[in-house]
Amino acid sequence: MDTGYRARVPAARRLAKLARNLARGNIDAGQPGLSARFEFSMLPADGGSVIPHTDSPGKVITLVVSMIRDGEWDPAFGGGTDVNRPKDPRLYYNELNRQAEFDEMEVLETFPFDPNQAVVFVKTFNSWHSVRPMTGRGSPAMRKTLTINIEADG
């Protein structure tokens, strides 16, 4: 199914792809393809966080999958993924993934850090998200995730 969505690929990446294709005798650079990259992450329940951001321009979709068993995480620690809106209108447009402070954001929704779930983000100019500092003071618990990044090939 064609959703009509086309990722914005930086001009330098498009030019590099065109040069590679020309070297192979192919004149058309074509539409960018997609690739996947996987990241494993662990944040400490004692203060770990991810500051507000919108993801890099080459990303199309991000899936954050929790990697914990039932009963392994205390919800009182926090660790949910926040969907944010900047308080300052000058931060509304953030295609290039500038980062912000927590106090510069209004939390619109929090997806709790629960076992067997995935949070999915489509990269846009205003897809601000974060993980607020967790409150598991003295706990050895870790917020473990697998992040799957779907990116536009350049």
Q: Does the residue 15 lie in any domain?
A: no
d(CA 37, CA 80): 22
Read off the CATH number of the domain in which 54 is found. 2.60.120.620
Q: Is residue 79 part of a domain?
A: yes
Phi and psi dihedrals of 113, rounded to 5?
-85, 95
Quote the domain boundaries for residue 86.
33-152
Q: What's the pLDDT at 154?
A: 60
Tally of domains in the chain: 1
**Interacting residues of 74 by C-beta distance below 8 A, sequence separation 6+:** 45, 136, 139, 141
Asked whether residue 25 is domain-assigned, the answer is no
121 in a structural domain: yes
**Tens of pLDDT, residue by residue, the chain (154 residues):** 344 445 566 777 777 877 887 788 776 656 668 889 999 999 999 999 999 999 998 899 999 999 999 999 999 999 999 999 999 999 999 989 999 999 999 999 999 999 999 999 999 999 999 999 999 999 999 999 999 999 987 6
